[in-house]
Amino acid sequence: MSARELVVLGTAGQAPTRVRNHNGYLLRWDGTSVLFDPGEGTQRQMLHAGVSAPRIERICVTHRHNDHCLGVPGVLNRMAQDGPGRPVTLHGPVDAFEHLRGLAVVAQANVQVTVEGVPTLDEFVPVADVAGSALTARALDHRVPAIGYRLTEPDGTTFSAGALAAAGISGPDVGRLQREGELRGVRLEDVSTRRPGQVFAFVMDTRACPAVAEVVRDADLAVLECTFAHRDLDLATSRGHLTARQAAEAAVAAGVRTLVLTHFSQRYDPEDLGREARDVVAALGGSTTVHVAADLDVVPLPGRAARSSVPA
> In the prediction, which pLDDT does 304 show?
76
- Given a cut of 50, whether residue 312 has pLDDT beyond it is no
Beta pairing class for 289-292 and 221-225: unpaired
Q: Any idea of the CA torsion for 68, 6, 130, 42, to the nearest 10 degrees? A: 30
Q: Are 265 and 13 in contact (CB under 8 A)?
A: yes
pTM of the prediction? Answer: 0.91
CA distance 74 to 92: 17
> Does 263 appear as a known binding residue?
yes
Active site (annotated) includes residue 220: no
Do residues 10 and 295 lie in contact, with contact meaning Cβ atoms separated by under 8 Å? yes
**Structural domains in the chain?**
5-155+196-296 (3.60.15.10), 158-193 (no CATH)
Phi-psi region of 34 (alpha: psi -120 to 50; beta: other; left: phi over 0): beta
**What's the half-sphere exposure (Cβ side, CA atoms, 13 Å) at 39?**
22
**pLDDT at site 305:** 66
Over 70: is that where the pLDDT of 307 sits? no
Buried b (16+ CB within 10 A) or exposed e, 181-202: eebeebebeebbeeeebbbbbb
**What value does the mean pLDDT take over residues 267-274?**
97
Residue 155 phi/psi, 5-degree rounding, is: -65, 150
Catalytic residue among 37, 67, 220, 295: 67
**Orientation angle between helical segments 42-49 and 72-82, nearest 10 degrees:** 50
What is the band of 2 on the pLDDT scale with cuts at 50, 70, 90?
low
Cα(73)–Cα(46) distance, integer angstroms: 14
Annotation-wise, does 142 bind a ligand?
A: yes
Q: Is residue 65 part of an annotated ligand binding site? A: yes
pLDDT, residue 194, reads 82
Judge whether residue 302 has pLDDT over 90.
Answer: yes
* pLDDT at site 306: 52
Q: Is 99 annotated as a binding residue?
A: no
- Report the pLDDT value the prediction gives residue 178, as an integer from 0 to 100: 87
Residue 247's nearest CA partner among 276, 287, 218, 286 is 276
67 annotated as ligand-binding: yes
CA separation for the pair 155, 283 (Å, rounded): 32
* Digit-coded pLDDT (tens) for 76-128: 999 999 988 889 999 999 999 999 999 999 999 999 999 999 999 999 999 99
Reported as a single tens digit per residue, the pLDDT across 10-34 is 999 988 999 999 999 999 999 999 9
Q: pLDDT digits over 192-232, tens only?
A: 888 899 999 999 999 999 999 999 999 999 999 999 999 99
pLDDT digits (tens, 9 = 90+) for 145-202: 999 999 999 998 888 899 888 989 999 988 898 888 988 998 888 888 888 999 999 9
